[in-house]
Every structure is written in C-alpha cells, then in structure tokens.
C-alpha cells in the first residue's frame, strides 16, 4: 500500500493524537512500515531497471556506431575498388573527356 505525502502526514497526526491507545498506534505504525517497505522495494527495483536500461542503451549506441563506421567504410572501399577497376580498364576519366570533347557541341 503506497502512501501519498498527505496520507503519511495524516497517519503521523493520528499517531500523535492516539499515544494513549496502543492498538491504534500499532496499527498505524504497521501501515507506515508497510508503506515504507514498499517504497524501498520500488526504489531498488527502479534503480535496477534504470541500470539495465542504461546498459542496453549503451550497447545500442555502440552497435549503431559500429554499424555506422562499417557502412561508412564500405562506401570508401567500394569507391576505391571502382577506381582501381577503372584504372585497370585503361582509360581514365580525363582521357575519355578529352576524346569526347567537341562531340557534344
């Protein structure tokens, strides 16, 4: 049973007003202890989930960076291979342009 701040203040006021009635004070203290235990358990669970999410986020960022670098490297490699293939074929871009110069006019 989670307590709001107002409920907690109400219970403390009831406790102060019921100091002569041990049964009422015991019941209120049990409610407060249960609420505190639930709050601590939730806090621990949230902290654990937060750490898990942080690690998953970091792993995702690392994976994305590796993928980005891999794709960037692939483009460079493809360009280099294309350039090498063109050079092996014999004609270079400048040679082709000089041969075609004047044919498009």
pLDDT, position 42: 92
Domain ranges of the chain: 5-100
Provide the token pair at 105.
């006019």
> What is the 8-class DSSP label of residue 104?
-
Percent of the chain with pLDDT over 90: 23
Q: Check residues 43 and 100 and name the one with the higher pLDDT.
A: 43
> What is the 8-class DSSP label of residue 102?
T
pLDDT, position 53: 94
Report the C-alpha gap between 32 and 72 in whole angstroms. Answer: 59
pLDDT, position 80: 72
Question: 50-73: string of b/e by CB count within 10 Å (b at 16+)?
Answer: eeeeeeeeeeeeeeeeeeeeeeee
Residues whose CB is less than 8 angstroms from the CB of residue 1 and which lie 6 or more positions away in sequence, other chains included: 31, 34, 35, 38
């Amino acid at each position: 049973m989670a307590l709001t701040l107002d409920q907690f203040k109400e219970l403390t006021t009831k406790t102060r007003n019921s100091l002569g009635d041990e049964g009422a004070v015991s019941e209120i203290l049990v409610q407060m202890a249960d609420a505190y235990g639930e709050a601590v358990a939730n806090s621990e669970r949230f902290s654990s989930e937060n750490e898990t999410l942080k690690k998953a986020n970091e792993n995702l960022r690392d994976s994305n960076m590796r993928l980005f670098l891999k794709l960037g490297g692939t483009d460079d490699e493809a360009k280099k291979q294309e350039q090498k293939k063109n050079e092996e074929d014999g004609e270079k871009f400048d040679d082709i342009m000089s041969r075609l110069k004047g044919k498009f006019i």
